[in-house]
Amino acid sequence: MKSKFVVTVEFGETDPAAIVFYPNFFRWFDASAWRLFAKAGLTFDVFREEFGLIGAPIVEARSKFIKPLRFEDSIEITSYVASWKQKTFNLVHEVRKDGEVCAEGLEIRVCAERLKDGSQGIRAVPIPDEIRKRLSADD
Amino acid sequence: MKSKFVVTVEFGETDPAAIVFYPNFFRWFDASAWRLFAKAGLTFDVFREEFGLIGAPIVEARSKFIKPLRFEDSIEITSYVASWKQKTFNLVHEVRKDGEVCAEGLEIRVCAERLKDGSQGIRAVPIPDEIRKRLSADD
Amino acid sequence: MKSKFVVTVEFGETDPAAIVFYPNFFRWFDASAWRLFAKAGLTFDVFREEFGLIGAPIVEARSKFIKPLRFEDSIEITSYVASWKQKTFNLVHEVRKDGEVCAEGLEIRVCAERLKDGSQGIRAVPIPDEIRKRLSADD
Amino acid sequence: MKSKFVVTVEFGETDPAAIVFYPNFFRWFDASAWRLFAKAGLTFDVFREEFGLIGAPIVEARSKFIKPLRFEDSIEITSYVASWKQKTFNLVHEVRKDGEVCAEGLEIRVCAERLKDGSQGIRAVPIPDEIRKRLSADD
């Protein structure tokens, strides 16, 4: 399963060099991840109510920035799960402008639940089969 | 040369799971990079006026997120150049809370100038010796 | 002339109370203002190249927040110029969810140019007739 | 009671005109409000645990922007409660650079609790006397 997310670069996302300030790419990756999850029926409410999870927090994130983006550019972000381990999965985010790759992102995420001790702590749990299945379904 | 940058986690930097929304780590890395540059005498004005550069844009960024951070946490970010190539350099950002590592970031940056063709385009140039020298000085 | 701008509330725009962190409304107002300008043929490049202006900076901004918004909410922002003075104009931003008003924003903006003294300074200029005319055209 | 909050303008907070993108002022106002609350002993945990409140959400925000700020500027934000009503209070935020006022902000906030119906809804409650008393104490 792949999701497509179209973003228009906003004025406030660009810097004095008139190019996108790079942390915004990671904001877009997170937003694109949630669109992929939603496409798989995994909204924030479903994570909490059906699976007892607080969501799928990040343990690692990376991006290569290949071509700079400017205000008013329109980009398309293609997101999908590239691989699974027992407790982590790798999400790939390809950013294209006019079909050309501008950035390649990777997020390594876990499924996490609140600790039962009443603290605000969280811990990773084995990825539920149902979550893996939904994110691996055909488009 | 190493810089130390103290950050307090703000309310608006945390999410419904009450932990820091991860793109904010990259905002802090960029801010910490500029503090290291400033310590080496490389302010934004110096980049432009002394070196004819628009600054040191990112070509790759990564972070491992080891312990979640919460609102009102105080963290210290230690930043330094870990290695140099002809056109790129690697900046390391270590995020600690109470001495314990919470995140480890890496930024690969270049030195860039505006294209001379009147466009808004930019291109990487060999890193000036003087920039390497200043960022390699003792504290 | 009125513009309509559809926004989906992102995870990272919400806070530990699970509602939108309010500065994001102003990010949306600015983005919606640029969409209104673009509809009137006033892109960032047109401001600079045709009018010699750096854009239309803010001198005052306000918003009433009537109903809280949550992650995955879809909202529509209607933006238009409500009044003109010689050097300022008032932009209204109405935020609706399912037709119901959630926030009412106001931005007071000027048209500004760079000072000719080589400094980074800017100053407000009388609003060009052509800009007023384009933003007052029928939809 | 007044709080002082020192902020350094970051690169990513400025725009292609090389001045601060205005929603960042509201991010700083919120951060400065939390510092005032903390000075009065009203941390996020105290709001929740001692008063059963989710915090002090915004119902209205305004700012006048008097002088533009640039990357590397250091500013001081003075925050205090200027007036009280039964359910709302007005927070003033004065932004100064080198002693000169650059922006004047106002936030109108309420004290809010979660609805008891199990929904994610919130509602304003009369401001507890103890909260008013703490925020009105001498410095």
pLDDT band at C139 (very low <50, low <70, confident <90, very high): confident
- Measure CB to CB from residue A27 to each of C12, C55, C72 and give the nearest one: C12
> In a mutagenesis test of the A interface, which of D21, D25, D45, D69 is the best target, namely the one with the most A β-carbons within 10 Å?
D21
Res A1: pLDDT: 96
Region D59-65 average pLDDT: 98
Domain that holds residue A26: 3-135
| Interface touch C22/D63, C-beta < 8 Å | no
Res C129: pLDDT: 97
| Interface touch C68/D59, C-beta < 8 Å | no
Q: Which residue of A lies nearest to B28 if distances are taken between CA atoms?
A: A23
Res A78: pLDDT: 98
For B20, which DSSP code? Answer: B
Checking if the pLDDT of A25 tops 90, the result is yes
Q: For residue B44, which residues of chain A lie inside 8 Å, CB to CB?
A: 16
H or E stretch covering C14: none
Res B119: pLDDT: 78
Asked if D94 and D101 count as a contact pair (C-beta separation under 8 A), the reply is: yes
- Measure CB to CB from residue A30 to each of C11, C27, C38 and give the nearest one: C11
Region B104-130 average pLDDT: 92
pLDDT tens per residue across span A68-116: 999 999 999 999 999 999 999 999 999 999 999 999 999 999 999 999 8
pLDDT tens per residue across span C19-42: 999 999 999 999 999 999 999 999
Res D119: pLDDT: 77
Q: For residue C71, which residues of chain B lie inside 8 Å, CB to CB?
A: 16
Res C90: pLDDT: 98
Q: For residue B43, which residues of chain A lie inside 8 Å, CB to CB?
A: none
Q: In chain A, how many domains are there?
A: 1
Res A118: pLDDT: 76
Query: Distance between CA atoms of A36 and A78, rounded to whole angstroms?
Result: 9
Q: For residue C21, which residues of chain B lie inside 8 Å, CB to CB?
A: 11-12
pLDDT tens per residue across span A31-70: 999 999 999 999 999 999 999 999 999 999 999 999 999 9
Region B16-28 average pLDDT: 96
Which structure tokens are listed for A94? 């390809």
Find the CATH number of the domain harbouring C131.
3.10.129.10
pLDDT band at B120 (very low <50, low <70, confident <90, very high): confident
User: Among candidates B96, B92, B106, B103, which has minimal Cα distance to B73?
Assistant: B96
| CA quadruple C5, C11, C17, C21: dihedral sign | negative
Task: Pick the more confident residue, D122 or C1.
Answer: C1
| Interface touch B61/A22, C-beta < 8 Å | yes
Q: Which residue of C lies nearest to A71 if distances are taken between CA atoms?
A: C44
Which structure tokens are listed for A22? 């790079």
Neighbours, chain B (3 or more CB pairs < 8 A): A, C, D
pLDDT tens per residue across span B32-45: 999 999 999 999 99
Three-state SS string across C33-73, please? HHHHHHHCCCCHHHHHHHHCCCECCEEEEEEEECCCCCCCC
| Interface touch B72/D10, C-beta < 8 Å | no
Question: Distance (Å) from the C-alpha of residue C136 to the closest C-alpha of chain D?
Answer: 25
Task: Return the number of other C-beta atoms located less than 10 Å from residue A45's C-beta.
Answer: 12
Res C119: pLDDT: 78
Checking if the pLDDT of C120 tops 80, the result is no
ipTM field: 0.96
| Interface touch A23/B24, C-beta < 8 Å | yes
Checking if the pLDDT of D116 tops 80, the result is yes
- Looking at every residue in chain C, the average pLDDT score rounds to 96
| CA quadruple D73, D78, D83, D86: dihedral sign | positive
Asked if D12 and A15 count as a contact pair (C-beta separation under 8 A), the reply is: yes
> In a mutagenesis test of the B interface, which of D9, D10, D14, D43 is the best target, namely the one with the most B β-carbons within 10 Å?
D10
Angle, vertex CA A8, rays to CA A6 and CA A14, nearest 5: 135
Query: Distance between CA atoms of C83 and D73, rounded to whole angstroms?
Result: 33
Res D30: pLDDT: 98
Look at chain C and count its residues.
Answer: 139
Region D77-105 average pLDDT: 98
